[in-house]
Structure 1
C-alpha cells in the first residue's frame, strides 16, 4: 500500500513534468488507454516547440539521472517508441552539473584507503565531464612501485603516467533504487491496463535497464569490460583500448590510461595533423566488425564523444559502461540474414528467422518472406554507400508485431550501435560504406564460419554434445523410474493446489450447468402447464 501511494505521488510529478513539455500525447493514448488519455489531457501544455521525441527528451532531462538513462535505453527500442522518437532520444545528452571536488576526494580516499596525495602525484579538481552516474577528473600517477611491489610504472614515458579518474556521484545508488521500483510498478500497471503490451516485454526492458545501471554503478565491471575488450584486440594497433590501473580502481573509482586525441567526427582536425580520414574509417569499420562477429562482445555506445583518433592515427575508445554481447548462434543468424538480404534471397531470410525461433512456427513462412521482400527490394537499386545495415535491421524488427516475433533486446542494442557506427562512417566520408570496407573480413569470416565445412563441424559438435549428455540423461531417467516404482509419482504442493483449483472450478461449472438446465426444464414445464 505504501509503495503504491509513494509511486502514485511520484507519477503525478512525472506527468506534470511531461505535460509541461507537451510529452504526454493524450490523443495517441485515446485508443490504447482512454482513462489515462483523459487524465493526461489535464496536465498537457499546448504549443511547446519541437518534435515529439525532442519534447520527451527535454522532459526526461528535467526528471533527473534515472530518466536520462531510461531515455538512452528507450533509444534502442524503436519497436516501443517508433523510429523517429528513438532517433531523438539517442541524442539525449547525459550531462549534469558536477558535484564538488571535495566530495570526489572523500570518495576516492574512502574507496582506496589512502590520502589522495599518496594515490596520485597530481589531481585536477576541475572535472572534464559530469554525467548522471559519475564524473571524470584527469590526474597523474606517481612513478613508483605498486602496493605489492611487483612492477614499476612506466616512468620513462610521461604520457603513460597520465590517467582519467572516474568517480561515482554520491548518493546515486539510492536515487536509482527508488526510480527502478517505480519503473517496475509502471511496467506491471501497463500490463494490467493493456495485456497486449506483453509482447513488448516491458518488465524485461526495466530489467535490462536495471542490469545496465547496476553494472555502471560498479566501476569494477566497467574496468573488467575495458580489460576484456583490450584482450580481444591485443596486438591490433588499429584499436587502442586504454589500460586499466587496477591498483587505483574500486567499486566507486575507476582509473584508466588517459587518451589524448581528436574526436573521430572532427575531420578537418584529423586532416590538419596529417591523417587520412579514409584510413581512420577503415580502422573503425574493421574494429566494429571484429567486435560484433569475431568476438561477440562490442562497445555499445561508440558515439563520436567516446571515440578518438590518437596521436598515432589509430582509433581509441573510452567509456565502457554500456557493452553488448552476442552468442555464436545470434552471430550466425545475423550473418545469414544479412547475406540473404544483400543477395535478394528473401526466402533464406525468412527461413533463418524460423530456424532461430524468432518467428513462431505457426506463422506462414510465405507471408513472412513477402514482408522481407518489402524491406529488401528498395535496397537493391541503391548505391552501396547509401545502404544502411542498421536501418535495415531496424525495419526488420519493426515488423515483429505482425508475426508475433518477440522482442530481441540484444539485436536492438546492436541495431542502435550499427546506426551510431554508420553515423561515424558518414562523418568521415559520406561516399564510402563502412561495410564495404569490411567486406574482406566479412567474406573470410563467412567462409570460416558459415561455409559447408563449418556447418559440418557445427553439426558434428551438436552430435558430440548430445552424446556427452546422453549418460546423464539415462541416469536421470533411471532415477525417475525407480522413484515412481518405489513411491509413486510425487507432486509438488503447488501442482496439487492448481489441480484442486481446477477441480473446484470444474465442479462449480457442472453445478451451474445442472442448475441452469434444471431451471430451463422447470420453466419449460411451467410454460406447458399454463
Structure 2
C-alpha cells in the first residue's frame, strides 16, 4: 500500500469536490453539521489540485466521474436514494449510470479484434457508436454477420484495471486511518468492507466471469413470471468483450416513457422488489447492481435485467437467518427477531435479549401503517446503526452486498411508486420461503442431504471409527499390543453405519 500516493489521492478527492462546485451540494445533501463544514473549508486553498471534470455535467456527477470508477459506483447507488440525497441530486447522479463520456469506436474495435482474434468486420455486419458508457465498460449495438441477430457488445475501458486499483488503494488507506483514529469504528471492520467491495467489483474486470454469472442467473430464473434476461453469445465473448442478445424496452428510470407506453408503475414497483427477494432467498444468487440503468421494461411488461458484473451469493444458512429476521419484522415479532440475532451469533451472548428486542421495536414500529413517502430511510438506518452499535453487533461482511442491494432495489421501487410499503410487498415472498425452508419439509430435506454426504464416506467409516476407538480406549504405553478386538468391533460398527446411511439416502427423495 503506497502511503504518500494514497494521501495525495485523498487530498485530490477533496480538491476535486471543491473545484467542481460539488462540495457544497454534497454537504447540503448530507445535512452536514457545522464542524464538518468547517473542516471542509480547509480544502479550499488546494482546490486547484482537483480534476476539472466534464463541464457539461452537474457538479456532483462531474466530480465523481472525474475521480474514477470506484467513486462512480458510489454515485450510482446514491442516485436511487432520493430520500437520502434529495430528488434534485438523485436526478443529477443518474447520469452516472449509463451516460458517461465514451471512448472512441476505433479503440473499441481494436479491443474486440484483439480479444476475439478476428477483425470486427468479419464478425459483425454492423457495429454502432457507443450506445451506453458506464464506469467500467461501454456498450455497442451490433449485428452478427452469421445470423443477422442484433446484439449488444460490451467492451472494457482501456486501462480500467490500473485506474480502479488506484481508487481501491486509497480506500484501503482511508479505512486504516479511520480504524486508527476511531477505535469505535473497528466493530464495522472498515478494511474488511473494502476487501469485500474489491472482490465483488474486480469480477467486473473479467467479462468471462460476468458471462458465467449471467448464464447461471438465467438458469435459476427461467420460470420467473414477468422477468427476462438476454442470452449470452459465448462464441463472441472473452475476458474484455462480452456479447449478448439485444434488450428492447423502456428504461425503468424513465417514468414518463413508462406512462406513455401504458405500463403499470405500481405493479412494476412491486415486481422489482419481489423478484429481488425471490432470487436472494430462493436461489441465494441475485443481481447486486439493480439500479435503473441496468433494468428495462419490455413491451409485454416484463422486467429485463442486464449488466451482470456484480452478482451476490449467500449460503442457505444465512438466507434462513435473513428470512427469519425479515419475517419477524413483518409480523412485528421483535422478540423473535432479537432471538434470531443471538442464535446466529450476530449479537454477543452477554447482552440482554429483551432489551435488544425493545430497541428493535423502536426501529420497526414507525414503519407500519405508513406508506413509503412518510418514512425517511436515512433516519431509520441511522437509528438502526445506533442500536447495533450499542449492542456490540459487528458488521457481517457476507451480508454487506445483500443489504446494499436491498437499499438500491427499495430506492428503485420507490422511484416508480413513492407510496409503496416495502414490508407489505415483501410479505408474500418471505412467507413462502419460510414455509418451504424452515418447516417440517425443510427438516426432512436437510436430513436427506446430510445422509447423502455421510453415505459417500461409507467405505472409510470402519477406519475412521477404529481410529476414534483407539484414541479413546488405548493408553499410549499399550498401543503396541494386539488391537484385533477393537478392530473387529470398529469394522462391524462401521459397516452397519455405512449400510444404514446408504439405505436411508436411497429411500429419501
Report TM bin, short chain.
0.7 to 0.9
Structure 2: 5+ residue runs without aligned partners?
A: 47-57, 478-509
Matches within 5 A, 1:308-327: 308-327=296-315
1 or 2 for the larger relative contact order (CA 8 Å, sep ≥6)?
A: 2
Is the Cα contact below 8 Å between 1:390 and 1:416 reproduced in 2? no
Cα separation, 2, equivalents of 1:346 and 1:137: 50
1:131 to 121, 130, 134: 134
Q: CA deviation at 1:218?
A: 0.7
Larger Rg belongs to: 1
Partner of 1:229: 217
Q: Equivalents in 1 of 2:310, 2:155: separation in Å?
A: 17
**Shift in CA distance, 57/397, structure 1 to aligned 2, threshold 3 Å:** farther
Q: What is the CA-CA distance between 1:187 and the residue it aligns to?
A: 2.3
TM-score (norm 1): 0.72
Aligned to 2:5: 6
Report the number of matched residues: 450
2:104 corresponds in structure 1 to 100
Q: Could you tell me how far apart the structure 1 residues matched to 2:6 and 2:425 are?
A: 51
Residue aligning to 2:194: 206
Between stretches 290-299 and 253-262, larger displacement belongs to: 290-299
> More displaced, 452-461 or 176-185?
452-461
After TM superposition, the structure 1 stretch with the greater mean CA deviation from structure 2, 202-211 or 241-250, is: 202-211
CA distance in 1, matches of 2:377, 2:78: 20
CA distance in 2 between counterparts of 1:55 and 1:243 reads 37
Looking at structure 2, the residues matched to 405 and 131 of structure 1 have their Cα atoms a distance apart, in angstroms, of: 36
SS of 2:232's partner is: coil
Post-superposition offset of 1:202: 1.5
Deviates more, 1:168-177 or 1:183-192: 183-192
Question: Once the 2 structures are TM-superposed, how far is the Cα of residue 438 of structure 1 from its aligned partner?
Answer: 5.8
Taking structure 2 as the reference length, what is the TM-score of the superposition?
A: 0.75
User: 1:331 deviation in Å?
Assistant: 1.6
* Contact kept? 1:136, 1:165, Cα under 8 Å: yes
Q: Tell me the distance in 1 between the aligned counterparts of 2:155 and 2:41.
A: 42
User: In structure 1, how many angstroms separate the alpha carbons of the residues matched to 2:38 and 2:410?
Assistant: 41
How well do the aligned residues superpose, as a CA RMSD in angstroms?
Answer: 4.2
1:299 deviates by 1.2
Query: Is the contact between residue 350 and residue 372 of structure 1 (CA under 8 Å) also seen in structure 2?
Result: yes
For the 8 Å contact 2:372–2:422, the answer to whether it is kept is no
Deviation at 1:358, TM superposition (A): 0.9
Among 285, 305, 312, which residue is 1:297 paired with? 285
Deviations 1:352-378 (A, max 9, x none): 101111111122212211111111222
Residues 86 and 361 from structure 1, CA distance in 2 versus in 1: closer, same or farther, beyond 3 angstroms? farther
Distance between the aligned counterparts of 1:286 and 1:187, measured in 2? 34
Distance 1:305 1:366, change over 3 A: same
Q: Does 1:249 align with 2:237?
A: yes
SS in 1 for 2:118: coil
Shift of 1:243: 0.3
SS in 2 for 1:400: helix
1:207 Cα deviation (Å)?
Answer: 1.1
- Worse-matched range after superposition: 270-279 or 457-466: 457-466
Quote the Cα distance in structure 2 between the aligned partners of 1:275 and 1:186. 45
Secondary structure of residue in 1 paired with 2:304 = strand
Gap change, CA 1:19 and 1:45, over 3 Å in 2: farther
Counterpart contact for 2:372–2:414, Cα < 8 Å? no
Contact residue 394 and residue 415 of structure 1 kept, 8 A: no
C-alpha distance in structure 2 between counterparts of 1:287 and 1:312, whole Å: 17
Which stretch of the first structure deviates more once superposed, 112-121 or 311-320?
311-320
TM-aligned CA distance change 1:431 to 1:42, over 3 Å: closer
| In 1: Cα distance, 2:452 partner to 2:420 partner | 44
| SS across alignment from 2:2 | helix
Whether 2:336 is the aligned partner of 1:333: answer no
